[in-house]
A and B are shown apart, each in its own frame.
Chain A
Amino acid sequence: MTEPLIYEICQAGRRAVSLPACDVPQTPLPAGCEREELPLPEVSEIDLVRHYVRLSQMNHGIDTGFYPLGSCTMKYNPKVNEAAARIAGFAMLHPLQPEASAQGALALIYELQELLAEIGGFAAVTLQPAAGAHGELTGVLIMRKYLCDQGESQRDVILTPDSAHGTNPATTSMSGLRVVEVPSDRRGNVDLAALKTLIAQHGPRLVGLMLTNPNTLGLFEENVQDVLRLVHEAGGLVYGDGANFNAILGIARPGELGFDVMHYNLHKTFSTPHGGGGPGSGAVGVRDFLADYLPGPIVARYESQTFEVAETSKVSSLRWYMPPKSIGRVKAFYGNFGILVRAYTYILMHGAEGLRQVSENAVLNANYLQARLKGVYPIPHGDRVCMHEFVAQGILKAAPGIRTMDIAKRLMDFGFHPPTVYFPLIIPEALMIEPTETESKETLDAFADALIQIAEEARTQPELLKTAPHTAPVKRLDEVRAAKDLVLCYAPGCG
């Protein structure tokens, strides 16, 4: 199944859109400014619609089937969120219209700031960052600026575990700081002895630690309190990567555990659709002593006395507020508001009990899958309870030629999206599996059965795996060629 490029279905003279005639006198164009040609497509509306509908059919989404992509929290995206985000009074607001004319939107932002602060155990929240990595940059810049203001501008080292997402070290470099990697111990935790050594070595230079908890092995740090204490004692701060927050809603509050800053991935934990790679929202929460450093504007409630004829009353209004020591703006306007509406809707519908059930069932589902796959695939930390995800290995003794990628591609033939593969980097042939709470036992069983069957096929018919996928729109794609002979856009114009 292939689909021609949009440029390949063009015919000169076709139109998909009509605009009104000009109802004002025309003004001559300025001399020498007009473009010579505009090589955009010419298609009819029906061809356009069929093109994109056919393309959509070449995609696997959550609504098509199970999507256990580890660390990405591919849970069901409730349709009510879409209805909410499309309400005209939200979707048709200009970001710079007078704040008095957008009090409902400011209220939604204010309420969501408060709700996220409560859920995470933080004092203040900004909703401006557009994605998790954007939240990380925000958080690390806050840590850096705070320490500079304390007269500690020599601090330039961030510790990151070897199991960390790539965004953590990348963020550190972007913030002008140095990365020092901390090894994991045999149980998958931060290696405390190594951490102590590194802190002794870098103490006066330490900005802090970036820690994902549960970590990317799907494990809750058994020594989390000790880890945080050691960093704090050395004058450092601890950044929490909230990518895995779906495991601990109502189970633990990172702010209470001692994290100083954390980003929330609203597109993961709070169910907003992933859109083929975005948009996301990387709200950032901080403890009280960092609140003045948040990027803004954020929404604050102002109370003013108004004197009326007979009585004095307090009127509260919501206003934009720039925290006084802010690191500055990290994005134009206020954040991905449309995503905020969806996340707010999700929290309203769950309440405290519902959110705790989310995490309980996410963790239950992951442990169930882990139990079903034990003994079939190696699970390096399978002796521990996992949180919302776990990491298996695509290593089969009976089929030494089979690799994780072969297993992943074969899963497609069963209608499943493969798990995250080859990450975390510290586990060879990693298969990182995150089922989420929105999947039923039947789906989990079907997935486990498929993986068990694939392990058997690997022994008896390895070619079936090596040549997989068989049912996808295309066979395995040559990624090396794509990077070597770069073709990044369609060359010839169409008319």
Chain B
Amino acid sequence: MNYIPNTDADRAAMLATIGARSVAELFRDVPEERRFPALDLPPALSEMEALRELQALSEENDHLGQLSCFLGAGAYNHFVPSVVDFLLHRSEFFTAYTPYQPEISQGTLQAHFEYQSMICALTGMEAANVSHYDAATATAEAVIMALQISRGKRSRVVLSPTLHPHYRQVVRTYTQGMGIQVVGDDVPASASLDALAAAVDKETACVIVQNPDFLGRLYTPAEMQALADKVHADGALFVVAVDPISLGLFTPPGRYGADIALGEGQPMGNPLNFGGPYLGFFAMKMGDVRKSAGRIVGQTVDAEGKRGFVLTLSTREQHIRREKASSNICTNQALMALAAAIYMAAMGKHGLRTAAELSYHKAHFAADLIGKLPGYQVVSQGPFFKEFVVRCPQPVARINQFLLDEYGIIGGYDLGSDYPSLRDHMLLCVTEMNSRAEIEALAEALEELPNLDRPTEEAADD
């Protein structure tokens, strides 16, 4: 099946107008010995056959519609109101591209202006762009922006060890040709914000902290402000990666000194989708907007004085500035930003707070239950939001296999793979999607485990 309306008669008429004898003739500029290679692809399927094949493939996966999930670690199972996907499927939104022609793109532009407004409201910042690929690339772009704001005079970037491991890896990938130092995260995950502050100096372009951090720990606004003051005293930018759902309840980064607030927008209205498409949200101070990356929508008026919206500050961007652009980003995650906007509008000030409260109370309930089980210890100290760390009596991979096979539960994240000191430590996540019964079933399953034989070391490393 293809989607080509041309009939043989159409093709003949068109070739006559062109003055060509055959379609093949149109490819005469392609080197003859390389022209028309035979592609070894499976035979074309009808729609019915394709859907059957895809359905069969999907059935080799165990999905969250069948399982209860206590896994987060950067991708979160939050409730998505039905209106979000329904509205997202308006094909006028869905099948448009970047709104280069504003007069016939006011829908996208206004929705994105509202997205920017709601991101600013949520983070307590002054300006926002219309998305990065995800939080990891948004973090890398924050680093590049900080380097540009320092006009190349600063070449050190300090990352918290409890910034998401993927975000730290992507920062290193992006900056590998830039001749800068990325430091700060070679200390144990238990290091305090004070230790991070000690790594900041006059060469530092920015400091990046996650709150709640990768281990779920929530830093108080006072702790964050103290770090911000130290960072600012050294003339660096303070960048905070934040869980947007936590902002339904807790003080936003704009109230404790953040110069840039960014994060993973997936929890706002986007399904888990095995890791993408997600979106990185990115909010900043007005004074830094001209150094930032990505699409930004601004308000203006039309020839009759009516309010309207356009892409603005394009002179920062690659299609105008080329090698001097603030970033190479072009296509972004616009549709996911629209989903996040609809989500924020639908949840509203009360719904988002409720989702955050439910996640908070359920996570604490789960931590209390699990902390009482023999062999388990909740090692999270101080406040946390929806994720917490549990020391387990068995290797995490083995526990997760057991939970999945015997109870239909997706267990937590194995922290040993990123933090050697946290071997046998599991990061559990609880949201409003987890019922009390699910949490109790998790505790019951975990309680059974210490009674199983501990595997040999070889098996544990498998």
Known A52-B111, A90-B273, A173-B323; contact A486-B286, beta-carbon cutoff 8 A: yes
Q: How far is the CA of A249 from the CA of B99 in the complex (A)?
A: 28
- CB of A69 closer than 8 Å to a CB of B: yes
Residues of chain A contacted by B306 (CB below 8 angstroms): 2, 474-475
Do the beta carbons of A98 and B342 come within 8 Å of each other? no
CB closest chain-B residue, reference A119: B39
Interface string of B277-311 (1 = CB under 8 A from A): 11000000010010000011111111110111110
B52 to nearest A CB, angstroms? 11
Do the beta carbons of A476 and B1 come within 8 Å of each other? no
What are 17 A-to-B residue pairs whose CB atoms are below 8 Å?
A2-B306, A48-B342, A60-B101, A67-B96, A97-B410, A166-B317, A176-B177, A273-B94, A274-B95, A277-B332, A332-B278, A347-B41, A351-B42, A475-B103, A482-B312, A483-B315, A488-B127
Do the beta carbons of B29 and A385 come within 8 Å of each other? yes
Do the beta carbons of B365 and A368 come within 8 Å of each other? no
Known A131-B330, A133-B318; contact A331-B134, beta-carbon cutoff 8 A: yes
Q: Which of B43, B54, B220 has the most CB of A within 10 A?
A: B54
Known A17-B81, A23-B436; contact A385-B357, beta-carbon cutoff 8 A: no
- CB of A335 closer than 8 Å to a CB of B: yes
- CB of B93 closer than 8 Å to a CB of A: yes
Do the beta carbons of B41 and A96 come within 8 Å of each other? no
Interface string of A40-66 (1 = CB under 8 A from B): 111101001101110111111111100
Number of chain A residues close to chain B: CB under 8 A: 204
Residues of chain A contacted by B232 (CB below 8 angstroms): none
Interface string of A107-137 (1 = CB under 8 A from B): 1100000010011010000000011111011
Q: How far is the CA of A62 from the CA of B336 in the complex (A)?
A: 19
Of the stretches A26-34, A197-205, A453-461, the one at the interface is: A26-34
Do the beta carbons of B50 and A277 come within 8 Å of each other? no
Q: How far is the CA of A487 from the CA of B206 in the complex (A)?
A: 27
Known A15-B350, A329-B169, A351-B42; contact A56-B93, beta-carbon cutoff 8 A: yes
Residues of chain A contacted by B338 (CB below 8 angstroms): 275-276
Do the beta carbons of A489 and B40 come within 8 Å of each other? no
Do the beta carbons of B331 and A133 come within 8 Å of each other? yes
Select which of A97, A169, A271, A356 is within 8 A of B322 by beta carbon: A169
B327 to nearest A CB, angstroms? 7
Number of chain B residues close to chain A: CB under 8 A: 209
Q: How far is the CA of A275 from the CA of B144 in the complex (A)?
A: 27
Of the stretches B197-205, B243-251, B372-380, the one at the interface is: B243-251
Main secondary structure of the interface of A (DSSP, over half): loop
Do the beta carbons of B303 and A279 come within 8 Å of each other? no
Select which of B27, B75, B172 is within 8 A of A333 by beta carbon: B75
Q: How far is the CA of A493 from the CA of B122 in the complex (A)?
A: 11
Q: How far is the CA of A35 from the CA of B57 in the complex (A)?
A: 45
- CB of A423 closer than 8 Å to a CB of B: yes
Do the beta carbons of B364 and A27 come within 8 Å of each other? yes
Select which of B37, B133, B314, B361 is within 8 A of A130 by beta carbon: B133
Q: How far is the CA of A329 from the CA of B288 in the complex (A)?
A: 28
Do the beta carbons of B274 and A90 come within 8 Å of each other? yes
Do the beta carbons of A355 and B92 come within 8 Å of each other? no
Of the stretches B8-16, B188-196, B445-453, the one at the interface is: B8-16
The 5 closest A-B pairs by CB, nearest first: A176-B177, A89-B58, A333-B275, A275-B335, A351-B44
Do the beta carbons of B349 and A441 come within 8 Å of each other? no
Residues of chain A contacted by B6 (CB below 8 angstroms): 361, 364-365, 437, 440-441
Residues of chain B contacted by A358 (CB below 8 angstroms): 2, 4
A238 to nearest B CB, angstroms? 15
Interface string of A461-495 (1 = CB under 8 A from B): 00000010100111111110111001111100101
Q: How far is the CA of A473 from the CA of B6 in the complex (A)?
A: 33
Residues of chain A contacted by B320 (CB below 8 angstroms): 166
- CB of B344 closer than 8 Å to a CB of A: yes
Do the beta carbons of A119 and B41 come within 8 Å of each other? yes
CB closest chain-B residue, reference A131: B331
Do the beta carbons of B318 and A25 come within 8 Å of each other? no
Known A94-B69, A170-B321, A412-B103; contact A69-B97, beta-carbon cutoff 8 A: yes
Do the beta carbons of B327 and A96 come within 8 Å of each other? no
Q: How far is the CA of A121 from the CA of B301 in the complex (A)?
A: 50
Known A30-B383, A59-B92, A490-B117; contact A257-B34, beta-carbon cutoff 8 A: yes
- CB of A352 closer than 8 Å to a CB of B: yes
Interface string of A417-436 (1 = CB under 8 A from B): 11011010000000000000
- CB of A191 closer than 8 Å to a CB of B: no
- CB of A91 closer than 8 Å to a CB of B: yes
- CB of B222 closer than 8 Å to a CB of A: yes
- CB of B187 closer than 8 Å to a CB of A: no
Do the beta carbons of B361 and A477 come within 8 Å of each other? no
Do the beta carbons of B330 and A19 come within 8 Å of each other? no
A256-280 contacts to B (CB < 8 Å): 256-257, 265, 267, 271, 273-280
